[in-house]
Structure 1
Amino acid sequence: MNKASKTVMRLALLQLKGSKDKTANVSNALSKIEEAVKEHEPRLITLPECFNCPYGTKYFREYAECIPGGYTSQQLSKAALDHQVYIVGGTIPELGENESIYNTCTVWGPNGDLIAKHRKMHLFDIDVKGGIRFKESETLSAGNDFTTINVDGHKIGIGICYDIRFEEMARLYRNDGCEMIIYPAAFNMTTGPLHWELLQRARANDNQLFVVTTSPARDTTAEYVAYGHSMVVDPWAKVLKAADESEQIVAADIDFSLVEQVRQQIPVFSQRRLDLYSTEKK
């Protein structure tokens, strides 16, 4: 990678295998962050959804922490500072106002500061006959805010898992100038094979930007079995890099100049019939 280039940024996606031991989960994440830094020298590192706890409504309150004062936040802050990198810290259960619990993504800057947090906006309440039933709303509250970060002049939107199914959210990030959307996510063995890659390529194609997802590794002994296959999709909707289902680190060089190239060559943004329809933030 040309370190002098402002248009190219190296990402490292950490697809992590979790357990019911929070301390061990965080320790594993820290170890993999260090490994990624040594092997790939990334500018930005992303972690999976619910990387410090099992994914399940009965676990969220038990594992919930305050942000930024909790154990997991403090460890991610130190890691970002020690390694001088940006960390999109997957998600953890957050203990919020009035004992509310949120599924929250924290983002840490190279100075160790919390630069953003995104509370999952769309709660995963589904019931697929013969497949899976899950109701996040049994435990979690929904976030109400869009979240963008700026890394070296590049605007990046943050979503969490089920958020990726809502194209309006991605469109509003595009309207706001985002060149990438990062979704920590944990699709399952019902929705993963059907929609995981499809949704990422759809959001990338619709909005002509990079889409990045980071999943937990697959653990077939877990109560909720994650699909894996963490992925980077480019603005042409091509899969740039992808993991399999195992625990691994995926590194990718992101050339942000591709965003503008695609948008100029297929100028759908300026061709929209805004006299007939629009997607607006309220």
Structure 2
Amino acid sequence: MSALAKAMSKFRLAVVQLHVTKVKADNLSKARGLIKEAASQGAKVVVLPECFNSPYGTGFFPEYAEKIPGVSTQVLSEAAKESGVYLVGGSIPEEDEGKLYNTCAVFGPDGSLLLKHRKIHLFDIDVPGKIRFQESETLSPGSGLSVFDTPYCKVGVGICYDIRFAELAQLYAKKGCQLLVYPGAFNMTTGPAHWELLQRGRAVDNQVYVATASPARDEMASYVAWGHSSVVNPWGEVISKAGAEETVVYADIDLQYLADVRQQIPITAQRRGDLYSVNAVQEG
């Protein structure tokens, strides 16, 4: 492997766990500062949390919704350009033709909009005595896969509840993604039960890196986020993890390590479309 190839096989990822308030301007300003901080620590790809510009809740989505492009995405574009990073802009409530979406905008180091991913699987749950939340009361679902290229690897994007659907991650892996990013806001019921479990599952299933970005925990908020933004490697190990507070966590993504894992346990080579060969389901 050439020196250039070795250099391109590694890059630093930063996951921003932002304390989100009801003041949009403050959220945008804080996010911009943390993006700059991450870049100063060598990050080439930066990920923000779900609903980073707005409190999370069906009552807030209509109030905080914006067009894309709009105020929030303009700040993201400027932040990506001034820091020279690929920026996965968490998500914001988006308004388009009278409908609301939970949307992630991704920007390149030149500030250009690379894609916007509208959350496909809306968060509609009802756990008796613990939590009921129905995104579909105000939001409409997206319908498309979202992949962007970097000089290092292809990256697939999902938002929060999207991570529960293994098929989506499999489709991204089939498209050549080596890193999956999920801005999310699991709560105090689903967070301790499933947040890390799902990340590790998606990573092991597809032999990819998986990164999740949560808002910091605010016990006074109407919706309390679990926190614990994380990065998991293709072996299923948690290599970076936040607590509940506002912070930035870093992970050095090693694509040669990913290739080694795939060579050692060659499950991807035995996949055939959406089915597995007999050998792939018999280990040992």
Q: Please indicate, yes or no, whether the TM-score normalized by the shorter chain is above 0.5.
A: yes
Q: Secondary structure at the match of 2:248?
A: strand
Give 2:24's match in structure 1, choosing from 4, 22, 25. 22
**Residues of 1 paired with 2:105 and 2:147: CA distance?**
12
Q: Secondary structure at the match of 1:43?
A: strand
Change (3 A) 1:159 1:235: same
1:74 corresponds to which residue?
74
Cα distance, 1:37 vs. partner? 2.1
**Residues of 2 paired with 1:159 and 1:146: CA distance?**
8
**Residues of 2 paired with 1:214 and 1:118: CA distance?**
15
2:90 corresponds to which residue?
90
2:281 corresponds to which residue?
none
Q: Which amino acid aligns with 1:226?
A: A
Segments of structure 2 that go 5 or more residues without pairing to the other structure are 278-284
Change (3 A) 1:268 1:95: same
2:12 corresponds to which residue?
10
**Residues of 2 paired with 1:25 and 1:253: CA distance?**
27
Change (3 A) 1:274 1:117: closer
Q: Deviations over 1:25-52 (max 9, x none)?
A: 11111111122222x1211111000010
Q: Does 1:53 align with 2:49?
A: no
Cα distance, 1:271 vs. partner? 2.5
1:154 corresponds to which residue?
153
Change (3 A) 1:14 1:254: same
The normalised TM-score by structure 2 is: 0.93
Cα distance, 1:184 vs. partner? 0.2
Q: Secondary structure at the match of 1:174?
A: helix
The normalised TM-score by structure 1 is: 0.94
Cα distance, 1:237 vs. partner? 0.4
Change (3 A) 1:264 1:22: same
Q: Which amino acid aligns with 2:57?
A: G
Segments of structure 1 that go 5 or more residues without pairing to the other structure are none
Q: Which amino acid aligns with 2:62?
A: R
Q: Percent identity?
A: 55
Change (3 A) 1:265 1:88: same
Q: 2:84 touches 2:110 (CA, 8 Å); kept in 1?
A: yes
Q: Number of aligned pairs?
A: 274
Q: Deviations over 1:53-105 (max 9, x none)?
A: 0000111111011112x100001101111111111000000111x21110000
Cα distance, 1:273 vs. partner? 6.3
1:120 corresponds to which residue?
119
**Residues of 2 paired with 1:276 and 1:106: CA distance?**
32
4+ runs of 1 displaced by more than 6 Å? none
2:45 corresponds to which residue?
44
